[in-house]
Structure 1
Amino acid sequence: MNLAEHYNQLYHNAAKLILAEEYALDLEIKNRQDNRFGLTLIIRPDQKIKAEIQAFLNELKKVESSQYYYPDSDIHITVLGIISCYEGFTLDQINVEDYITVINQSLTDLGKIKIEFRGVTASPSAIMIQGFLPDETLNNLRNTLRENFKNSDLKQSIDSRYSISAAHSTVMRFQEKLQNSKKLIEIMEEYRDYDFGKFDVEKLELVYNDWYQRETKTIDLCDFHLR
Structure 2
Amino acid sequence: MDLTQHYNQLYKKSSETILAGSYKLDSQLNNESDSRFGITLLIRPNETIKENIQFFLDELKAIEPHQYYYPDADIHTTVMSIISCYGGFSLDKINVHEYIDLIQQSLVHLDKIKIEFRGVTASPSAIMIQGFPTDESLNNFRNKLRENFKKSSLEQSIDSRYSIATAHSTVMRFQEKLQDPEKLIDILEKYRDYNFGNFKVENLELVYNDWYQRESNTIHLAEFYIAN
TM-score band (shorter)? over 0.9
Which residue is equivalent to 2:104?
Answer: 104
* 1-structure distance, mates of 2:29, 2:152: 34
Q: Which amino acid aligns with 1:174?
A: F
- Unaligned regions of 5+ residues in structure 2, if any? none
Which residue is equivalent to 2:203?
Answer: 203
Which residue is equivalent to 1:37?
Answer: 37
Which residue is equivalent to 1:20?
Answer: 20
* 2-structure distance, mates of 1:112, 1:15: 34
* 1-structure distance, mates of 2:40, 2:195: 27
1:173-217 CA-partner distances (Å, limit 9, x unpaired)? 000000000000000000000000000000000000000000000
Question: What's the CA shift for 1:40?
Answer: 0.4
Runs of 4+ in structure 1 displaced over 6 angstroms?
none
* 1-structure distance, mates of 2:7, 2:93: 36
Count of residue pairs brought into register by the alignment:
227
* 2-structure distance, mates of 1:155, 1:30: 29
Which residue is equivalent to 2:191?
Answer: 191
Which residue is equivalent to 2:11?
Answer: 11
Q: Which amino acid aligns with 1:154?
A: L
Which residue is equivalent to 2:150?
Answer: 150
* 2-structure distance, mates of 1:178, 1:188: 14
In the TM superposition, 1:106-145 aligns within 5 A as 106-145=106-145
Which residue is equivalent to 2:69?
Answer: 69
- Unaligned regions of 5+ residues in structure 1, if any? none
* 2-structure distance, mates of 1:187, 1:157: 36
* 2-structure distance, mates of 1:150, 1:112: 24
Could you say what the CA RMSD is over the residues aligned between the two structures, in angstroms? 0.4
Question: What's the CA shift for 1:111?
Answer: 2.2
Which residue is equivalent to 1:175?
Answer: 175
Q: Which amino acid aligns with 1:144?
A: K
Which residue is equivalent to 1:93?
Answer: 93
Q: Which amino acid aligns with 1:224?
A: F
1:124-171 CA-partner distances (Å, limit 9, x unpaired)? 000000000111000100000000000001000000000001000000
Question: What's the CA shift for 1:109?
Answer: 1.9
* 1-structure distance, mates of 2:186, 2:177: 17
Q: Normalization by structure 2: what TM-score? A: 0.99
- Give % identity: 67
Q: Which amino acid aligns with 1:98?
A: E
* 2-structure distance, mates of 1:13, 1:186: 15
